[in-house]
Amino acid sequence: MRDRCTAALVGCLDSLAVVGQWRGKGIARALVAEAEKAAGSHQAGKLGAAALYVTHEPELTDFYAGLGFTLSPDGIGFPTPAGLICHGPIKGYRFSVKPLRTGIQMEPMATSYGRQLVVRGVLPVPAR
C-alpha cells in the first residue's frame, strides 16, 4: 500500500500505448505532456505532484529520456520521515522519473531492492 502523503505528491503513468497506424505523429508525446500537466497542477491552485514516474517496456527508454525522464537502475525510492518507500523492480519493465518542480534531486542508491533511483525533495525529511 502506498503512503498517502507520498502518493499525493508523486504522479504515476502506467502503460501508454498508441495504435500502430497512429505512431510517429506525436500522439504519445502529447499524452505524456498532458499527464505531466495534470499531475503537476491542482484545481485549487495548490502545488500538485513533485515528480512523475512512468512504468515502461525497456525499448521505450530512449523515448522517455528524450522527454526529460531519468531511467532508474532497478526501481524508485522516496525518502519520508518514516523511512524510504521503494517501488520495484517489476520483471520486464523499467521505471523512469521526471521532476515536475524545482528542488527535486535524484540519485542512484543501493537498497534491499537493488539500485534504486532515490527521489529527494518530494517530502520534507530530517537531515541525514
pTM (predicted TM-score): 0.82
Q: Are 103 and 51 a contacting pair, CB within 8 Å?
A: no
**Quick one: residue 15, left, alpha or beta (phi over 0 = left, psi -120 to 50 = alpha)?**
left
User: Other C-beta atoms within 10 Å of 79: how many?
Assistant: 20
DSSP line for 39-107: HH--TTS----SEEEEEE-GGGHHHHHHTT-EE-SSEEEEEETTEEEEE---TT-EEEEEESSTT-EEE
Higher pLDDT, 60 or 3: 60
pLDDT tens, 29-68?
999 999 988 887 765 555 678 899 999 999 999 999 999 9
